[in-house]
Structure 1
Amino acid sequence: MSKYLLQCLSCGAKITDNYTLDCSCGKGGFFRTVYQQKSFNPSSENTLWRFQEWLPVEKPASVGSLGNEKQIFEGYPGKTVVYKSVYLGKELGLKNLFIAFNGYWPEKNAKIVTGTFKGLEAPPTIRRAIEKGLRRLLLATAGNTGRAFAEEAAHQAFEVIIVASKSAQERLWTTQEVKEENVKYIALEKENDYTNAIKLGKRICSEIKIETEGGARNVARRDGMGTCLLEAVTEIGSLPHHYFQAIGSGTGGIAAWEAAMRLLEDGRFGQVLPKLHLAQNKEFAPIFNAWLERRPMITDTDLTLPVEKITELFAEVLANRTPPYSVNGGVFDALTATQGEMYAISKSKAIAMSKFFSSTEEIDIVPPAAIAVGALVEAVNNEKVAANDIILLNITGGGLLRLKEDYDLVPIKPLITLKHPNDPLDEVSELLIKD
């Protein structure tokens, strides 16, 4: 018997997982993983797999090639590192500020070599796919997810097809040479955004019959991201009162909410869900706009920024025009359940916050993480958090400058480039069907 089932949040049905993304009821709600193991008992292993009882895989992944159990280095795949802030907390007058660092900072034992918390999603997603008999997946990406999956595909001898705008190309790299049999990058010209990459990805999956990775509908991605909160609870000993993160799709916020519900069910770590504090670019903030009015729907009035302006955003990767906001189990439900807050952080403030964090904590961070720091500062200034509250700040990526001291980054280059998401797929079909 499997250690978990999938429960549809629209109709309530529980089913056995077959890399299932959508319920047959047709109502569109998310699946949520229901684990047999109700108590939280992480192992002592110093990797992401210490939480395998609450990940939708039957056993941890082999690394290097199928059936090869050798780990490429101690601590792979990397996990979140949580520590109590001294300097940033002091600057903000916060006595219990904990930082969840997702990136590369070996001096703190942080070993996510892609420098992004997407490295928490890729290992369980690819392992789940392999266990369910799949040999490849397609994913659309704004960059960070693509490089995390490319890195992991090489380790698990799996194939990923990456669809991304060339505007994301600088974020597409690995720390090792990857073979074409493991990673295929199909690009759109730079004037396209992430939403156009999603459109093209859906076309390829439909017309060429490629399995989609699933995005927010993929329970392995959400539960992988949820390990950030699980790691925090092992360090703190209880659930935090507040959880801060920058979001594009909002999947990370959903993941934190779902992980918190499992910990509440355990009963040993608190009785109240952490309040979600989620943040976006001020210049493009559809979830912020909708939540400000407590609307359960995002409308066209929330999406007025022209596509060609997306690349000018401080945190371009957060620009998602179709986030899972209204779906059962989506962002609106997560914010409602946690009495959450949304923030819109300007480019100038985010730049200042990046410098502020680096000067206090002595590590570089990615643009979305600076947006989250800005939200925390705004919450402090507006007295939405108290000095003694337990606060978890999710730094969703960092240490890229530190990473370059130890690794030569290998760019992922496109094999095919299309001008528009509606262009003919003849060349793409030839590339993928020959496999």
Structure 2
Amino acid sequence: MRDEARGVSTEERPRPQDAARPAEGARPPARRGGLAPTGGEDIMTPGHPQRHYTLICPVCHRRTADDGLVLTCGEDHPAAFLRTGYQESRLTVCPDSDGLYRYRRWLPITRTLAGAGGTIVSRGERLGRALGLRDLWIAFNGYWPERGAHLRSATFKELEAYTVLGRLPDRPPILVIPSVGNTGAAFASVFAQTGGECVIIVPERGLHRLASETELPSAVRLVALTGGDYDDAIGLGERVSRLPGFQAVGGAWNVARRDGLATVLLSAAETMGRLPEFYVQAVGSAVGAIAVHEAAGRLIASGEYGQARPRLLMCQNASYAPVRDLWRFGSVGRGHAARDVYADELTNRNPPYFVRGGIRDALAESGGRVLVADHASARAAAELFLETEGIDIEPAASVALACLREAVAGGEVSSGASVLLNITGGGRAHPARARLLRRVEPTLRLGREELGSPETPGRIGALFPSADGVVRAARV
């Protein structure tokens, strides 16, 4: 079921009455396993029992104490993304913490996980010369240990996973994670450290992205859709999340996902000492771009990073560009197939465009634009990055680089502009990683004809032995 008028799916727009916490009838805490020790740090100590932030609704300005699961305001007004209000108004770096947890004072978390990775920001001098840019900065998210990049899934989605896991209560519900593959790989990797339960739903053609050094942990169930696409995964995820004891991870509605991805800009601000004029990223749901826009506002409010937010350049496939269509025409065109794309991770048909604080607002407030790149341009961009920087990058990152290349050539970005290019994934083919990977087999395969069956959500619920009997019998 979709809210076409708003351009978002019901998974992307959770119902206030049931999205803020597990569904009525969820398994009682005594029957749920808690999160396992992570080797990190418990931030909520007996001397500091309260979370260091509250959740703020931008419409009614209501402040809500977080329980680790809240996704929406719950008041009767137009849908809006909650935002985090932190006790500390200035960016504080915690050098003793791993990876993105360096910025934990601006993360909605109660615990850290040992060995977390983060974004590596550096000048892109060789790539900049090839593009004709004198002040290019690269935010690399992936696996490149020689440069200090240790995201095992080779994607920036790991930043989301580390923050979502750090935000959850001690006895969380089973999270439902629809994915093209990258998000699933990131959550599987991080969940392996905690023992938390989740079900990952992916199109079968995205299974290769979940290749791992180890088998999936027992608490993670993987459902592959034969012949299905990302929209099918989202739709099935909506239905599974209504089962007792399950909850959608929340997409862009989850403040942990957004603030985790916002650390890309925090890392850049720490390294550069300023904000860039342009921020370039390939987008599907645009959670990362929205997050960077929010973080820029927080940095500006601190009084230490100027007054201008970076202009957002959101990038998509030329053959299928829902965000571009919404930006230009107010609706998504139906003339192209989502399968005819260079980067299938950018194919969310219902991105959060019209919601308050969503894509439309971020583009308008930043003076941003939506750009597209075709297959040939993206392939050439991937080759250029490998030649100039020495590492492979993911298809989505190639689309972003191709769009930046065309924007510079066309004069939209001047040669002297300060530009931050988010390489959202890279290093998948790094020898130290690739030689250890093994194919991951799904727990359950579903044919396209099975997706609409009322028994299908219950079949998925039954994959978890600890789930209540009502889950197994559920028809959604």
Pair in the same fold by TM > 0.5: yes
Q: Which amino acid aligns with 1:368?
A: A
Q: Which amino acid aligns with 2:417?
A: D
Is residue 334 from structure 1 mapped to residue 362 from structure 2 by the alignment?
yes
Separation of aligned partners in 2, 1:208 and 1:419 = 24
Residue pair 2:175, 2:248 contacting (<8 A) in 1 also? yes
Separation of aligned partners in 2, 1:407 and 1:160 = 27
1:150 corresponds to which residue? 188
Gaps of at least 5 residues in structure 1 are 62-70
User: 1:323, CA displacement in angstroms?
Assistant: 0.5
Q: Which amino acid aligns with 1:55?
A: L
1:14 corresponds to which residue? 63
Residue pair 2:175, 2:249 contacting (<8 A) in 1 also? yes
Separation of aligned partners in 2, 1:145 and 1:305 = 24
1:44-68 CA-to-partner distances (Å, cap 9, x unmatched) read 245111010011012323xxxxxxx
2:141 corresponds to which residue? 102
User: 1:364, CA displacement in angstroms?
Assistant: 0.4
Q: 385, 398, 401: which is aligned to 1:370?
A: 398
User: 1:178, CA displacement in angstroms?
Assistant: 2.9
User: 1:22, CA displacement in angstroms?
Assistant: 1.6
User: 1:403, CA displacement in angstroms?
Assistant: 5.1
Is residue 237 from structure 1 mapped to residue 287 from structure 2 by the alignment?
no
1:131-186 CA-to-partner distances (Å, cap 9, x unmatched) read 4x3153111001000000000001122122101111211112223233222x1011
2:92 corresponds to which residue? 41
Is residue 204 from structure 1 mapped to residue 204 from structure 2 by the alignment?
no
Q: 1:323 to 1:277 in 2, by over 3 A?
A: same
Q: 97, 111, 120: which is aligned to 2:150?
A: 111
Residue pair 1:5, 1:33 contacting (<8 A) in 2 also? yes
Is residue 264 from structure 1 mapped to residue 300 from structure 2 by the alignment?
yes
Residue pair 2:111, 2:167 contacting (<8 A) in 1 also? no
User: 1:433, CA displacement in angstroms?
Assistant: 5.4
2:384 corresponds to which residue? 356
Separation of aligned partners in 2, 1:221 and 1:31 = 12
1:292-320 CA-to-partner distances (Å, cap 9, x unmatched) read 34x4xx34xx24323xxx33411011100
Is residue 29 from structure 1 mapped to residue 80 from structure 2 by the alignment?
yes
Residue pair 2:352, 2:359 contacting (<8 A) in 1 also? yes
User: 1:385, CA displacement in angstroms?
Assistant: 1.7
Moved more, 337-346 or 381-390: 381-390
Separation of aligned partners in 2, 1:250 and 1:432 = 32
Counterparts of 1:32-431 in structure 2 under 5 Å?
32-45=83-96, 46-61=98-113, 71=114, 76-131=115-170, 133-181=171-219, 183-189=220-226, 191-293=227-329, 295=330, 298-299=331-332, 302-306=333-337, 310-402=338-430, 404-405=432-433, 408-420=436-448, 421-423=451-453, 424-425=455-456, 426-431=458-463
Q: 1:356 to 1:318 in 2, by over 3 A?
A: same
Q: Which has the higher helix share?
A: 1
Q: Which amino acid aligns with 2:209?
A: R
1:404-432 CA-to-partner distances (Å, cap 9, x unmatched) read 55651133321112223212224223223
1:74-113 CA-to-partner distances (Å, cap 9, x unmatched) read xx21100000011111112211100000001111111111
Separation of aligned partners in 1, 2:194 and 2:460 = 24
1:209-242 CA-to-partner distances (Å, cap 9, x unmatched) read 4111111111001000000010011110000110
Residue pair 1:350, 1:370 contacting (<8 A) in 2 also? yes
Moved more, 424-433 or 116-125: 424-433
Residue pair 1:216, 1:251 contacting (<8 A) in 2 also? yes
Gaps of at least 5 residues in structure 2 are 1-49, 468-476
Separation of aligned partners in 1, 2:431 and 2:363 = 34
Q: Which amino acid aligns with 1:313?
A: V
Q: Which amino acid aligns with 1:140?
A: P
Separation of aligned partners in 2, 1:434 and 1:156 = 17
Q: 1:60 to 1:11 in 2, by over 3 A?
A: same
After TM superposition, which residue ranges in structure 1, 4 or more long, deviate above 6 angstroms?
Answer: none
Separation of aligned partners in 1, 2:130 and 2:52 = 45
Q: Which amino acid aligns with 1:200?
A: L
Separation of aligned partners in 1, 2:122 and 2:191 = 30
Separation of aligned partners in 1, 2:181 and 2:199 = 13
Residue pair 1:114, 1:175 contacting (<8 A) in 2 also? no
1:22-58 CA-to-partner distances (Å, cap 9, x unmatched) read 2211432111111111101112245111010011012
- TM-score, normalising length: structure 2: 0.83
User: 1:370, CA displacement in angstroms?
Assistant: 0.4
1:67 corresponds to which residue? none
Q: Which amino acid aligns with 1:322?
A: N
Report the secondary structure of 1:311's partner residue.
coil
- Sequence identity percentage: 36
- TM-score, normalising length: structure 1: 0.91
